[in-house]
Structure formats: C-alpha cells, structure tokens
C-alpha cells in the first residue's frame, strides 16, 4: 500500500537520523496517482494498493535542525521497467544530469528551466513521441504539457523558501553562492503515469 511507503520513510528518518518531523505531507503515488501533483493530502491519502506495471513516485522530506529536505524518486513496482517507462525515466534522468552539470553561481534559473525543456524535447523527438524540429517544439512550449510546473524552488527553513518570480515575462532569477535549491524534472507518459527525480542542491562558488 502507498501508506506503507510513507510510514517506512517516516520511521527510517527518525530511526536512522533522529529526524522527528517531516518537511511536508509525504507523497507516495502509484500508477495514475504518480501523475497527480501534490497527491497524498487528506483528500487523496496515499491509500492505493501497488500493482505490477505501476510506476511508484515517492516525494518526501524530513527536517533536521529546523531545515527542510525535499527528495523524489521513481521506480517500477515490479522491479522492472516496461520499455515506455524506461524511456521516460531515462529522459528525466538526462534532464536531471544536464541541469546539474550546468548549475553554478551566476547562471539564470530560466536558462536551467529551458535546458530541461530542450533535453525533454530532444529525447522524445528522437524516440518518435514528439514530431517536429526541436526549436519549433521549444517555441510552441510543448514540453510544458509534460512538465506543467516550475523546475524547482528555494529551500531552507521552509520547504518552499522565499523566492520571487514574476507572474508575467521572463524569469530572470540568478543562482547565487550558498543558495539551497530543490530542482525537479518530471514527464508524464501515455499510460497516465509519471516519472519524477528531485534533488537538493547547494550552489557554491568554484575554486
């Protein structure tokens, strides 16, 4: 059951790290629930039975010394990806790798968001799931259909720490030294399940 994943996480954080509090309500989504943003609340309480063929998404974090963490991973309930699931998971992993490789102090966050979108379009176009030139797909904002949220957010005392984004126009937030970012990449696929990978990253000045 999904709630068993939630309870195992809470137990492990307290038992192994002394983390008595969680940063937010855990998300343990399986099958179609893995594609529901912020699943796991009282109205959708992590109560589905895992089944073979499901992708399982665990989005959870604990607090230590009042600072929050926010981590996500996705895996097949059966232990083996289907071909479609592997394609989407590896696409998301490639997005993650590209962004982590490019993040540094002074880089605009908007550029990281666009980089993730470009990798998504490139990979899915190469697989035949998207049709058209990558630049045209980017111009049409096709990737936003598969990743309908921001790439990440500040994190610190609060899971979603203070970060000012304009409602309109280009996002020009610049990553600076000693900022803590949570970044995520997610893609839905045809069976209405999602793969999501999320890491917590500290931006530091290079030597």
User: Over its length of 207 residues, how does the chain's per-residue pLDDT go in tens digits?
Assistant: 999 999 999 999 999 999 999 999 999 999 999 988 889 998 889 999 999 999 999 999 999 999 999 999 999 999 999 999 999 999 999 999 999 999 888 888 889 999 999 999 999 999 999 999 999 999 999 999 888 887 888 888 888 887 655 554 444 555 555 555 555 555 555 455 677 777 777 776 555
Greatest Cα-to-Cα distance within the chain, rounded to the nearest angstrom: 51
32 assigned to some structural domain:
yes
132 assigned to some structural domain:
yes
Instruction: Name the token pair of 186.
Output: 């997610």
Q: What range defines the domain where residue 154 resides?
A: 2-202
Judge whether 132 and 199 are in contact, CB under 8 Å. Answer: no
133 assigned to some structural domain:
yes
pLDDT at site 52 = 94
Considering its fold, how many domains does the chain have in total? 1
Q: Tens digit of pLDDT for each residue in 107-149?
A: 888 899 999 999 999 999 999 999 999 999 999 999 998 888 8
Other beta carbons within 10 angstroms of residue 173's beta carbon come to 16
60 assigned to some structural domain:
yes
pLDDT at site 161 = 82
87 assigned to some structural domain:
yes
CA distance 130 to 126: 8
Domain with residue 121: its CATH number is: 3.90.230.10
Other beta carbons within 10 angstroms of residue 21's beta carbon come to 12
The sheet with strand 194-202 has its strands ordered as 27-30, 55-60, 71-76, 194-202, 180-188, 152-154
84 assigned to some structural domain:
yes
207 assigned to some structural domain:
no
148 assigned to some structural domain:
yes
Q: Tens digit of pLDDT for each residue in 35-44?
A: 888 899 988 8
Whether pTM exceeds 0.75: yes
């Amino acid at each position: 059951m999904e709630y068993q994943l939630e309870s195992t996480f809470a137990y492990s954080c307290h038992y192994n790290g002394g983390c008595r509090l969680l940063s937010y309500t855990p998300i343990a989504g399986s099958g179609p629930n893995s594609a529901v943003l912020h699943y796991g609340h009282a109205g959708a309480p992590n109560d589905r039975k895992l089944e073979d063929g499901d992708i399982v998404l665990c989005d959870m974090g604990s607090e230590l010394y009042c600072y929050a963490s926010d981590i996500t991973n996705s895996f097949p309930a059966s232990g083996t990806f289907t071909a479609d699931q592997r394609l989407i998971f590896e696409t998301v992993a490639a997005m993650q790798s590209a962004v982590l490789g490019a993040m540094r102090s002074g880089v605009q966050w908007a550029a990281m968001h666009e980089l993730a979108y470009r990798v998504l379009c490139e990979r899915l176009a190469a697989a035949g799931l998207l049709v058209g030139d990558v630049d045209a797909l980017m111009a049409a904002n096709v990737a936003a259909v598969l990743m309908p949220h921001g790439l990440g957010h500040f994190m610190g005392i609060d899971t979603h720490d203070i970060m000012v984004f304009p409602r309109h126009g280009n996002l020009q937030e610049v990553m600076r030294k000693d900022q803590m970012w949570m970044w995520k990449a997610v893609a839905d696929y045809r069976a209405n399940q999602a793969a999501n990978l999320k890491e917590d990253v500290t931006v530091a000045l290079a030597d």
